[in-house]
């Protein structure tokens, strides 16, 4: 991921899990999923479907476990 894309995605993640929200369904690329694993190492990530879009993204259930 390029720096600008990474910054945008990081902002998206921060906003997605704000206000004590710890569970979301997110459409992610493999790079985005790896970014979540780095930012939230204890996160649980589960594929919602095995179908991949033409842009390479899939739906995942993401649960972060705050410290």
| pLDDT, tens digit (0-9, with 9 covering 90-100), for 25-36 | 999 999 999 999
Q: What is the structure's pLDDT at 5?
A: 87
In which residue are the tokens 């995942």 written? 60
How high is the mean pLDDT of the chain? 90
Domain 3-63 sits in CATH at 3.30.1370
Q: Is the model's pLDDT at 38 over the cut of 70?
A: yes
Distance CA 37, CA 61 (A): 13
Q: What is the pLDDT averaged over residues 37-56?
A: 89
Tokens of 11: 């902002």
Q: What is the structure's pLDDT at 34?
A: 92
Confidence of residue 49 (pLDDT cuts 50, 70, 90): confident
Q: What is the structure's pLDDT at 67?
A: 65
The strand order across the sheet containing 23-28 reads 23-28, 58-63, 44-47
């Amino acid at each position: 991921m390029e720096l600008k894309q990474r910054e945008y995605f990081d902002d998206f993640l921060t906003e997605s899990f704000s206000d004590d929200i710890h569970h979301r369904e997110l459409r992610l690329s493999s790079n985005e999923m790896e970014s979540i694993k780095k930012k939230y190492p204890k996160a649980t990530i589960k594929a919602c479907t095995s179908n991949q879009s033409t842009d390479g993204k899939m739906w995942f259930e993401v649960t972060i476990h705050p410290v």
